[in-house]
Structure 1
């Protein structure tokens, strides 16, 4: 069954009004006819099974057949601070982060980030990344669409993370896997958690020291050096497994 997202404002029981590019996709690409069923998420943890009623100017009118509350969200807010990687690796990281329950992805420029984006290119990238997040949320059956924020400097990212309950900082020079297990297992449901992942080449020692001063918990992911995309997936997988209710 096809899955679309709307805002709560588009739900006017007993109808839902689908708008934007999704209307063209439903009408002209999928060629959905009256009576065909679709799933709709309102971005607020509610899902509806609907039937196509009709098409109006710029809208698809859907009749609500069934309504239920979703339970696909983690009982914790996880924010991934991802050091900008090369090529299309960021797209993979966003896709997998959404599947694993992240609530927000923040692209971060660090000292070892190779990718350089001006304001215009950065804005287009963020738009593209948010489309990937939306698509991944549909595929994963998420109740909300995780947000990809604007690109931040490392200092901005640390200041943004200061409001979170826990900050995890995987670092290749860190030691003590037992301590790392304790740190991850100490994360509680209901908390907000920031995860900092470096780009190719990892973090500079100066960046690691600054994170430590800001209260981040430095952890190790084992004896092997992981690629940036692998490190992000590893930490999020551990958190998902630990926090899944």
Structure 2
């Protein structure tokens, strides 16, 4: 069943009005007809089961049949602080992290980042990244659309993360998996979690020390060195396994 997102203002007592690019997608790409059933989300984890009732040039009307109360979201809020990777790796990272349950993604410029984005390039990239996040949210039937923020410096990322309940920083120099298991065991429903992932060359030691000053916990993901596009997904997969109800 296809899923679409709308603003609260588009939701009436009995009918939801779909506008924008989704209208063309419903009419001309999917070629849906009156009477077909769709899922509509308000972006705040409420899901409506609807039947298409009418078409116009720029709107699709959908009659509300039922409201799903069961959430598809994890009981924790996870923000990924991802160091800017080379090529199109960020697109894959965003897609997969949204599928796994991340709520927010903050691209970060670190000492060993090769990629440098000026303001114009950053705005263009972030627009595309948010489109990828929305598509991934639809595909995975998320109740919200995770946001991709404008790139920030490492110091700005730490400032944003300092008030979170726990900050994890997978680090190749970290040892002792038993410590990592103990850290994960401390995570409880309702917590806000930050995950810091370094670039291809990893975090500088000084950056890890700065992160520890705000309470970040350095963890190991095993004896193998993971790529930057793999490490966040591995960490998120563990959190999903532990927290999924």
TM range (shorter): over 0.9
What is the distance in 1 between the residues matched to 2:7 and 2:205? 43
What is the distance in 1 between the residues matched to 2:40 and 2:76? 23
What is the distance in 1 between the residues matched to 2:27 and 2:231? 40
Deviation of 1:36 after TM superposition, in Å, equals 1.6
Deviation of 1:223 after TM superposition, in Å, equals 1.1
What is the distance in 1 between the residues matched to 2:226 and 2:100? 18
Partner of 2:47, secondary structure, is strand
Q: State the TM-score, normalized to the length of structure 2.
A: 0.97
Q: Contact (CA 8 Å) 1:97, 1:236: kept in 2 or not? A: yes
Q: State the TM-score, normalized to the length of structure 1.
A: 0.97
What is the distance in 2 between the residues matched to 1:56 and 1:214? 54
Q: Contact (CA 8 Å) 1:104, 1:148: kept in 2 or not? A: yes
Number of equivalenced pairs? 245
User: Superposition pairs for residues 183-198 of structure 1, below 5 Å?
Assistant: 183-198=183-198
User: Where in structure 1 are there 5+ consecutive unaligned residues?
Assistant: none
Tell me the equivalent position of 2:92: 92
User: Superposition pairs for residues 58-137 of structure 1, below 5 Å?
Assistant: 58-137=58-137
Deviation of 1:49 after TM superposition, in Å, equals 1.6
Q: CA RMSD in A?
A: 1.0
1:53 aligns with 2:50: no
Q: Deviations over 1:38-82 (max 9, x none)?
A: 111111221112111112352111111121123210111000000
Q: Tell me which stretches of 4 or more aligned residues in structure 1 moved more than 3 Å.
A: none
Partner of 2:117, secondary structure, is coil
What is the distance in 2 between the residues matched to 1:207 and 1:30? 48
Tell me the equivalent position of 2:4: 4
1:27 aligns with 2:20: no
